Structure 1
Amino acid sequence: MSDSPLPPCGLYVTRAPIGSVPAGRLVYFHDHGDPGPGVYLPTRWVANKARFDAPGTLLPSREHAVHLEPLPHEGFYRVADAFFCCEKRCRRFENDLLVQLGYDGAGTPILFVPEMSDGAIGVPDRGTKIDRDRIAHLAPLRVQVASAPRDRTFH
């Protein structure tokens, strides 16, 4: 492989095929895998977050990294300014609403709206797909994460 720079580890959508991974797929790129940099397809979703298991697909060359379109992190966000999910205006997300951002297998963003009941916040397992450009209306939140046993999945 040449010395082309690699993007940081994280979530991406493939813009063109990378090895056996077709274009238009959600992947996790890992830049220091063994035996080298590669992409991993989601194998399941837990709490609306994609999980990626080995084995992955090695980048045929470092130049293939240009086919990775970065995606914002899955997690909790605040609606910074109100917006509709799409041009059809199916659903409006109001200012300061708490939402969880996730993705489907094609990298389409999905917003899940948590609800409070009996003093506890719950997040539904069904959400609303939004156009990717609408993510710009979201501001990331920092949420304390409880320690959990480490497993052999990525992200």
Structure 2
Amino acid sequence: MKKAYLYLLIGTILMFFSLGIIALDLIIHIAGYGLMILGMLLILQQRESPSLLIASQLTIGLLIFELLKVGVARAIMSNTLLSIGFMTLILITQLAIFYLIIKSEGEASESLEVQTYQQAELLLSIGLLGLYFISYFSTLAFSLFAILNLCFYFFIVYVFYKLINAYSY
């Protein structure tokens, strides 16, 4: 389990990492999604979890979208309204993936600490979605969205780090 959460941690870092160079970002993001899928599959070998199975399937969907984004989706992304729809869908999918991973661990361990992480992730996700929609109308909301998105990223990294340590003993 420690190895699985280590893969999830590294995959999360790579998934959010961006240099702005399309070809290099593609490789980094694919590696991140691949590590996340591998981590989830390792956990699924240890225990059965419907929410983790859904999370792994959503991650595979994001991996496929990342591959398509370079070619086909570039034409779609030029349309602003369609671009907003895709970005919203990606954000919701990412938030759902992390929620389902933490939910799966909460169901398995029944730990109060993990349940607290689950509730905090849900609150952060709701806040992120709200600020995301408002950010199209306000630059202040966009700044708050960027700050909260960074906090969400560090929170997820922290949760996976704590789960790695929980399985060290």
Q: TM (normalized to structure 1)?
A: 0.20
Greater fraction of residues in strand: 1
Higher relative contact order (CA 8 A, sep 6+): 2
Greater share of helix: 2
